[in-house]
Structure 1
Amino acid sequence: MITSNSSKEKGFSGENEPGWPRLSQTENGEVKALPEPVCRWTFQEEAGEVRWSEGRERYALKEMAGPVARVEDGVVGPYAMEVSEGQWLNLARAECPALDFHGKGKPFSVVAWVKRAPKSVPECQAVAGMWNETVETRQYCLFLDLGIWSSAEQMCGHVSATGAPTPGYKYCMEAAIGATPVDYGVWRQVAFTFDGTWVRVYLDGKLDYRPGLNPYYWPHAINDGGTDGSDFTVGAVFRGGAMGNWFTGRLGGLAVYREALPEAAVAELFATRKV
C-alpha cells in the first residue's frame, strides 16, 4: 500500500480532468470520493441478453457460448450471472477503446465479486481483461489459480510488456499473486490494481500480501496490442489457438477503473458490496 507523510491528503494514481471526481484519502484513510469507473457491470440481465455497462462508457458484453444464466444470488443487486465451464463473454476491441490500457504510466483497476465453482479441467481461470496468448497480444487480466511461482488457487493480476512469454520461460511470468486461496462456494471480492510501478491484488478489501509477489514491482509500459490486439473477455482468454482458462461460477459484479484505487477505496467497495 502506498503511504504518505502528508498530514492532509493522500492522492491516487490516475488522470485528473474537469468533471472527474478526484479520489483522495484523509489522514485517517477515509475515501472522500470514488471516481466513476470506465465500465461497471452488475449482471442483472436475464440469460440471452446483452450485458450493458454503467459508468463513463456504455459497452456491451455479448454471450459467446449459449445463454449465460441469471440466478437469485446477487451482491450488487438481487441477481448474479452464473457462468458454466466453457462459457464466456466478449467485447470486441474496436468497441471498447477506453479499456485498452497500454503504454507507460497507465494506471487501472479491475474489481469483481466471484463465487467459484468446481470445474472439470484443472487450469487457471480468467476473470476479465485483454489477454490473447495465441497471437501474443497480452496486456492485462485478472486471473485465479494462475499456477506460476509456486502458486495455486490464489488471485493474480497479470500484466505484459511485450505480449509474449517472459524471456526464458514458456509463459508470461509477470504477475502480482496473493497468498490466500480463493475458496469455492462463497462470495469473495477480488481486485487488481496497477499504478504504473506496482501491481497489487486485494482480497475482500485488503492487500493479500505475499513477499516479492504482492505488491509486485513492475515499472514497465503495458503492451500495445494494436488494432489486431486482444478483445476484452470475461470468463476465458484465447490461448493455444482456442478459448480456454475458463472461469466457472458466479459473477456478482465487475468494474474497470482508469485509476489505481488505493486500499481504502477497495475496502469501501467491499464493505458496501459494490464494484
Structure 2
Amino acid sequence: MTFGKDFSGPGSVNKSLSPDSRAVRQVLRNRHLVAFWDFSEVEGCAKRDKSQNGFILQEYGNTPLPVVDEGPVSGRSVRLDGASYFSIPYRQSGKLNVKTNEVTVIAWIKWSGEQTGFVAGMWNEYQDGGKRQYGLFVSLPHYNGKNQVCGHISQSGKATPPFPYSIDYSASQQEVPPGEWCCVAFSYDGAYIRSYLDGVCIPRAPELILHTKGFEGYPDGLVQSKNPYYFPDGIGDNGSDFTIGAVSLKNGMGNFFIGCIGGVAVYDKALPADEIAKISRLFNLSGQ
C-alpha cells in the first residue's frame, strides 16, 4: 500500500484513449468550467484535468488505483474499492475553492449500492470541528437521502445547529441504480441546492426529516423540501482539501465511494437545468 502518489514524474507517459472529442469539446467550452477529469489515462499515469487549469489528482490508499476499460466519457474509468481515493490539498485547490458562491458538480458513475459514497468536492467533517464546503454524495440516509443523489453545502464548515450533523443537502426524488452507469449532479445558486439524476431534477414536496424530532426548537421534527433545498447562507472558504471518492471523518477517511467513476466536472456557476440535462446526454451511458 502506498500513499499520496500523483505518478507525474519522468517517464510517466500519459497514454490516454481518444474520447468522443466533440462531446469533450462541448464540456470544455463552458467558460465556468473549473476542472474536468475523464480518467482516460492508463493505470499509473497522472490523472490530470482537461481544463486549462490542469489539476492533478494525488492517489491515496491501494495505489495505483485500477483503471478499467469501461466508462461513458472516455471508455475508461477508475475503480474505487472502498479504501482508496484522490485528493488535491487545500493550498493547491485554486479555482476548485469556488469564490462565486455558486457551484455545479457533475459526475458519471457506476455505484455498487453498498454504502454512502462521496463522489467529489471539498468536504471535511472532522478537522477543527469541520471544514465542510461543498460536496456531491450518493446516499445520505440520515436526513432523507437514502440511495439518492445528494448535494451538500456548508457556510460554517460545521454541523447544523441544533443537530449533530450537517443537514443542509438536497436529495433527488429518483434513486441511483446500483451497478449501472448514470450521471449524477447537483447545483447551488446561492439560495437553492438542486440534485439531478441523468440530467433530471424532480421537485420533492415538504416532508418530515428523519432524526430531527426532539431537538431544541423542533419538538415535532423539521419539515422541509429536499429538492430543491433552500440554503441562503452560501459556501464557506473553510480550508478543506478537494477529494474524489472519500471525505475526512473523525476516525480518518470515510464515506468511501465503491464502484467506478468515469468523469467529474466542476463549475463555478450554478448551471441551468437545461444545460445540466444537455451535458448529461453528451456521453453514452451504456459505458462502452
Shared fold per TM-score greater than 0.5: yes
Match of 1:188 among 182, 198, 202: 182
- Contact preservation (8 Å) 1:130, 1:231: yes
In structure 1, what is the equivalent of residue 124 of structure 2? 132
Q: CA deviation at 1:267?
A: 1.0
In structure 2, what is the equivalent of residue 210 of structure 1? 204
In structure 2, what is the equivalent of residue 64 of structure 1? 60
Q: Distance in 2 between matches of 1:247 and 1:179?
A: 21
Match of 2:39 among 33, 40, 43: 43
Residues 105-141 of structure 1: CA deviation (Å, up to 9, x unaligned): 611100000101154xx4x211011111111110010
| 2:153 is the alignment partner of 1:159 | yes
Q: Distance in 1 between matches of 2:145 and 2:194?
A: 16
Q: Distance in 1 between matches of 2:189 and 2:94?
A: 19
Q: CA deviation at 1:36?
A: 5.0
Q: CA deviation at 1:56?
A: 3.5
In structure 2, what is the equivalent of residue 89 of structure 1? 86
- Contact preservation (8 Å) 1:36, 1:55: no
Equivalence map 1:223-234=2 (5 Å): 223-225=236-238, 229-234=239-244
In structure 2, what is the equivalent of residue 12 of structure 1? none
Q: CA deviation at 1:54?
A: 1.3
- Contact preservation (8 Å) 2:113, 2:177: no
In structure 2, what is the equivalent of residue 113 of structure 1? 108
Q: Distance in 1 between matches of 2:204 and 2:45?
A: 40
Q: Distance in 2 between matches of 1:235 and 1:91?
A: 12
Match of 1:254 among 235, 260, 264: 264
Helix, strand or coil: the match of 2:57?
A: strand
Q: Distance in 1 between matches of 2:111 and 2:234?
A: 32
- Contact preservation (8 Å) 1:161, 1:223: yes
| 2:95 is the alignment partner of 1:98 | yes
| 2:52 is the alignment partner of 1:74 | no
Helix, strand or coil: the match of 2:118?
A: strand
Helix, strand or coil: the match of 2:147?
A: coil
In structure 2, what is the equivalent of residue 5 of structure 1? none
Judge which range, 147-156 or 85-94, deviates more. Answer: 147-156
Question: Unaligned 5+ residue runs, structure 1?
Answer: 1-32
Helix, strand or coil: the match of 2:275?
A: helix
Q: CA deviation at 1:221?
A: 2.3
| 2:211 is the alignment partner of 1:198 | no
Q: What is the identity percentage for the equivalent residue pairs of Structure 1 and Structure 2?
A: 35
Q: CA deviation at 1:172?
A: 0.4
Residues 51-86 of structure 1: CA deviation (Å, up to 9, x unaligned): 101114111001101111111112111211111111
- Contact preservation (8 Å) 2:113, 2:147: no
Helix, strand or coil: the match of 2:142?
A: coil
Q: CA deviation at 1:94?
A: 1.2
Q: Which 4+ residue blocks in structure 1 deviate beyond 4 angstroms? A: none
Residues 17-75 of structure 1: CA deviation (Å, up to 9, x unaligned): xxxxxxxxxxxxxxxx7435110000011222221011141110011011111111121
Helix, strand or coil: the match of 2:137?
A: strand
| 2:219 is the alignment partner of 1:219 | no
Q: Distance in 1 between matches of 2:175 and 2:243?
A: 23
Question: Unaligned 5+ residue runs, structure 2?
Answer: 1-28, 206-224
Q: Distance in 2 between matches of 1:91 and 1:47?
A: 19
Counterpart amino acid of residue 48 in structure 1? G
* CA RMSD between the two structures: 1.5
| 2:248 is the alignment partner of 1:238 | yes
Q: Distance in 2 between matches of 1:258 and 1:101?
A: 6
Counterpart amino acid of residue 99 in structure 1? L
Q: Distance in 2 between matches of 1:52 and 1:143?
A: 22
Q: TM-score, normalised by structure 2?
A: 0.78
Residues 203-261 of structure 1: CA deviation (Å, up to 9, x unaligned): 10111322211111111121221xxx111000000011400000010111100011111
